[in-house]
Each structure stands twice: as structure tokens, then as C-alpha cells.
Structure 1
């Protein structure tokens, strides 16, 4: 069964055809699990290494953290609402049914169907470039590799939408986003130990958080004297926000994460020394 599903998927990529399979509920679950496993393997073996290479060349810049994206808001917006809307826009049309039957013949539909599959999958991938704020030429040259995950996902979900139906495509999209947007960040945040560094001159502890918690305090306290930082007590602010507040807007860039940060120094650290301290833990440009 696994081999049959994967073979059918590659045949679909080679020549997309609008053919729905009739199968049991249990088979549909297995169908999704096979494709989920396949895409996970592809992601970890191909996508992540490629993305890492591109990031080392280009230094991809994502948008600053939105503090309104709590766990519940993230689940609603990023796991449920946006995937549903994306499927509605990019995959709902990809079956010969409804209005399609009224405006085009089956013969013509079969001719344009492969073009539609590739068109919507590619557009779906490229809209995810908006996740980044890069705007230089090399960014756009490398863009197909930057959105490799979304391109692959777009074809997998299209295959599910055609072979099963729209609801199963939406469900798969829900599951994928739940894994990568909610479960993996939460697991990493839970397992990761806070970064700490203690010397005779200073002490610093940085704890990364997966999501903003509105029930907890958000605060930014800084103690400076004669141009030196003596203390920082930060709760639920992004590391990019910290850099912008201390050094000026967009002077430095870092891959953004939500942090709790405690820093103390009796003698104080100059701003250049403090940025060097943060660079022990973060890639800051």
C-alpha cells in the first residue's frame, strides 16, 4: 500500500489527472499517514539542509514576533483559519465538479488540469515569500529553494485534494501546521535549557518562550549609567525588540524569538560589549 501511494503520487506529479479514488475511512487515514511520513522525511533530509545552506549564504530575515499570537490565537489563525482559506483559494477548484461542469467540457478540463495543478501549487509556494523581509536580488534568485517546503507541501495537499476530497486536504494542512507551528516549538521550548553565562563581571540568563502568555507580565526594565548597561530585566519581549530598543531600530538583525532575559553587572557593560555577549548565543548581524 505504501509503495502504491508513493508511486501514484510521483505519477501525479509527472502528469496530474483528475481522478478520485473510492476507499474506506481507514484507507484514507492510512493514505494521509503515508504522505505525512513521506513529506516529513523529505523535509528533514532535503528541505532543512537546503534551507540551512541558503540561510548561511543569504541570512534570511523573518518578520518580528507578533505579541498577539498567543497559543490559542496561533492555533485558531495558523492551524485552522489560514490553512482553510489557503485550501479554499488554491485547491477547492481542482476537481471537475460544480461550476466547472457548467463552463467547460470534461475533455477541455482534462487538458488544462495539469497546468492548473502546477499553477496553483507554485503560486501557493511563492506567497510564502511574504514570511521574510529580504528584498535583495539574491533572495529572489534563490526563492524557489527558500519556499521548497511550501512547494512540496502544495503538491502533496493537491494530490490529497484530488484523490480523496477537499475536506481531507484541509485536515492534512491542519495537521502539518499543528506539528510545525505548535508542537515542535512547544517541545523545543520545554526541553531547551535556558542560556546562562556567569563571570566575575556579569551574569546573564536567557529563557526562550514558544508563545506569548497574556496572563503573565510583559515588562522591559533597563538600568544604565554613563553609557553602560548595569541591569536588564525583560519578560516576554522578542530578542529583536531588545536589540531595537538598545541600539536603534534595525541596526542589528537576529532570528526572532520570544525571551525572558535577566542581566546584571556591577561595573556595567558597554553596548558593544553587550552585543558581543549576545552573539555568544545568537547569530546577530
Structure 2
């Protein structure tokens, strides 16, 4: 195995210098190359990119990733992640590489890999300057993965890059999706109130929000698959809080009305709530 890894490292360096040598070189050992490439991609994501992204998220800039907007059953979403996305993205980004030659091929490999990473920036709703400065880290896994899958495509064929893409999604994306979707993240009860919050990875039904107020407090909230930021804006002052982007059900019932900020604090047991500076505006009419 050590010999295979050493051979791959030498071959990949050659590929980065001149992809044409890979196209015209020997094409044997496809499975071993695929295993090495897959292992390297997982190791790089787990040991480098994910820890750095978490540090950025916690200490530099909250990364505003969110649930999928599409309404679909879970089984179909899994098929999309494991089959449709790998096939479509490999056809778009890697399939044309075989038809380029010489200097054009090198430009195509580098261009398609960078574009593949940039496309995945759309997974986030950030538009801050810092987000774009840290983009090479945030989408670093896709950037490195783009070069590795380009190598597999040119060295051994498109089916190997599709297979790597599918397995990476199966190991990373599907478990995260399944762990989030339909999970009860807050189940809090006291003599004064009860609060149950369920989180979803994607929408399965139309949004439904009902908030009941008495005087200056809230006594009942009934939400079905709505965006948490929208809910917090409706409960408190719009724009006063930045909230982790999440799709949730909320069932809240209080024996007597509680202040909006107290309810937001209860939601803060699970979700990040960051106070925002908002401009002074004329007071609006109270919402019913």
C-alpha cells in the first residue's frame, strides 16, 4: 500500500504540472488509485478543512449555511445526493476534460476545479468581504476534490470520478442530512411553559406560522417547517438578531405570556443568537 501511495503522489504531482502526461500515460491500477484518492480526500476534509471551517464559524464569521429549499421525500433526496448530483456535476465539470489537449487541457483542469469549488459557495448565504477572503478554506474540500476527481477522470475514466463523488456524498452529506432531519433539538418543560423544537434538513410541507400575543407577551407559538430567522424576526424586533439558518417546527405554550426576548433566549438553548446593531426607526404599529 505504501508503494501505491508513493506512486500516486508522484503521479499526481506530474498531473498538476502537465495533465497531458496522465492522458497519454499508463492507465492501469484504477481501483487502487481510486482508493488512495478517496482516502486522501476524506483525510484532507476531516483533518484540515472541517476544523478550519469550524474555527472561522465560531471565531471569525458565522457561516450561514441553510436547509435545502426543495420539497421532496427523504428517499428521493438521498437518490439526488448519491446519484443525480454526482452524475450531473461530473458530466458538467469533468466529462469535457478528455477532449482537451496540451496547454488547453491544463487550463481546463485548473479552471474546472476552481469553478467546481466556487459553485459550492452557493451553499452559504454569506455576502461579507471576510467570507470571500476565507472562501479558499470554506470550499477547500471541493477545490482539492475537484483536482483529485479530474485526475481520476483523465487517468482512469469518468466512472471513477463519479464513484468517488458519490461515495464522498454518501459518507459526509447523507449522514449529516439524516441526523438533522426530523430531530427533536429542544424538549423543555417547566410549570411555566413547554417548548418543543424539531429541526429539518429540507422542507416537506408548506410553511405555517401562528404566534399568539397578549399585551406585551407571547403565550403560544405554533410553527411548521419555517425558517428560524423569520420566526425570530416575527417574535422580536426584525433584524435585531442573527440566527443560525434552520428549518424548524416549534410548539410553545406558556401558562402566562412571556416577553419576546425570553422566548428567543429559550430558542438560544440550541441555536446561535447573535445581537445585531439596527438603526433607530420610528416605532411600528404593534403586530396582532
For normalisation by structure 2, the TM-score amounts to 0.79
Tell me which of 19, 27, 36 is aligned to 1:22.
Answer: 27
Do structure 1's residue 255 and structure 2's residue 257 form an aligned pair? no
Other-structure match for 1:103: none
Other-structure match for 2:46: 44
SS of alignment partner, residue 243 of structure 2: coil
Mapped to 1, the partners of 2:121 and 2:136 lie a distance apart of: 9
Residue correspondence of structure 1 range 82-231 to structure 2 within 5 A: 82-95=85-98, 97=99, 100=100, 109-187=101-179, 194-213=185-204, 219-231=208-220
Q: Which has the higher contact order (CA 8 A, sep 6+)?
A: 1
Mapped to 2, the partners of 1:251 and 1:170 lie a distance apart of: 44
Other-structure match for 1:106: none
8 Å Cα contact 2:18/2:106 also seen in 1: yes
Mapped to 2, the partners of 1:205 and 1:138 lie a distance apart of: 35
Mapped to 2, the partners of 1:201 and 1:10 lie a distance apart of: 63
- CA shift, 1:115, in A, is 3.0
Other-structure match for 1:276: 265
**Structure that is richer in strand per residue:** 2
Other-structure match for 1:60: 63
8 Å Cα contact 1:5/1:31 also seen in 2: no
- CA shift, 1:283, in A, is 0.7
Mapped to 2, the partners of 1:3 and 1:239 lie a distance apart of: 46
Identify if the C-alpha distance between structure 1 residues 49 and 29 changes in structure 2 by more than 3 Å, giving closer, same or farther. same
For normalisation by structure 1, the TM-score amounts to 0.80
8 Å Cα contact 1:122/1:151 also seen in 2: yes
8 Å Cα contact 1:218/1:237 also seen in 2: yes
Mapped to 1, the partners of 2:14 and 2:194 lie a distance apart of: 57
- CA shift, 1:159, in A, is 1.4
CA RMSD of aligned residues (A): 2.9
Q: Number of matched residues?
A: 268
Identify if the C-alpha distance between structure 1 residues 14 and 28 changes in structure 2 by more than 3 Å, giving closer, same or farther. closer
Report which stretch shifted further, 270-279 or 82-91.
82-91
Mapped to 1, the partners of 2:198 and 2:231 lie a distance apart of: 14
Q: Which runs of 5+ in 1 are unaligned?
A: 101-108
SS of alignment partner, residue 194 of structure 1: strand
8 Å Cα contact 1:70/1:211 also seen in 2: no
Q: Which runs of 5+ in 2 are unaligned?
A: 275-288
Do structure 1's residue 31 and structure 2's residue 22 form an aligned pair? no
Identify if the C-alpha distance between structure 1 residues 264 and 183 changes in structure 2 by more than 3 Å, giving closer, same or farther. same
Mapped to 2, the partners of 1:183 and 1:9 lie a distance apart of: 33
SS of alignment partner, residue 71 of structure 2: coil
SS of alignment partner, residue 282 of structure 1: coil
SS of alignment partner, residue 19 of structure 2: coil
SS of alignment partner, residue 134 of structure 1: coil
SS of alignment partner, residue 22 of structure 1: coil
Tell me which of 3, 6, 24 is aligned to 2:5.
Answer: 3
